[in-house]
Structure 1
């Protein structure tokens, strides 16, 4: 699939809730974020409290030991968990990641092939949302997993 990259303008997302914004990215009506182009991963599915990305590990992501640097799967975990949380937010509400923790179960190498990361909300409070994510190989093996804590930011008030 051919993706386009960039940022949606405030006018493009006005009055859209988090899930609608994410679905518009999946559908190609809004661009994938620039980090997706740089790190070769894309939002591919969204639901209530759920988000999935797919990514291609490549030689340009390798650390000195010859495996994909841990920052890549951690970025996938943070992205999937955060988007799962965002899918539950009303229009005009923002969030930010407070903490993301990851565990690396198996090495990821370019020959691992396309991976899928699935994020799911675990707990949705008024101000704090926690979510978990798993990075999966094509055969379903867990390559990495982790959790994120997200802070819900109050909608901006007009002055």
Structure 2
């Protein structure tokens, strides 16, 4: 783990937990929605439960509620040995036809295969 991710006391910064929780929650929701939809986080709540000084973190996300305009997902951060380090939720607003992953890829000149392959 990069030292750039540590706080001044030598443990992983809580902002890292917040970022990976929001990211895992995004992908959990994305997997259940139509490909042309984008999302933006409107509320992220994180509980930092334990610090980590080295090793790898593992983040698992799960959608809780998929709605037409709002979605809720949860995520948890674990150490390599399975210790729970942080957990949280992310509420996202659905942006129909805007800010999609495909739109991002096109603007960066990259090609992505269809999300749901036949």
Q: TM-score range with shorter-chain normalisation?
A: 0.7 to 0.9
Other-structure match for 1:93: 37
Q: Secondary structure at the match of 1:68?
A: coil
Other-structure match for 1:130: 72
1:151 pairs with 2:93? yes
CA distance in 2, matches of 1:151, 1:101: 15
Alpha-carbon distance, 1:126 to partner: 1.0
Alpha-carbon distance, 1:95 to partner: 0.9
CA distance in 1, matches of 2:97, 2:61: 24
Alpha-carbon distance, 1:83 to partner: 0.8
Alpha-carbon distance, 1:155 to partner: 1.8
CA distance in 2, matches of 1:68, 1:91: 34
1:84 pairs with 2:33? no
1:66 pairs with 2:10? yes
Task: Give the structure, 1 or 2, with the largest relative contact order (CA under 8 Å, sep 6 or more).
Answer: 2
**Count of aligned residue pairs for this structure pair:** 98
CA distance in 2, matches of 1:114, 1:66: 15
CA distance in 2, matches of 1:91, 1:152: 12
Alpha-carbon distance, 1:144 to partner: 0.4
2:52 maps to which of 105, 108, 125: 108
Structure 2: unaligned runs, 5 residues or longer: 99-118
* TM-score in terms of structure 1 length: 0.59
* TM-score in terms of structure 2 length: 0.78
Give the root-mean-square deviation of aligned CA atoms.
1.1
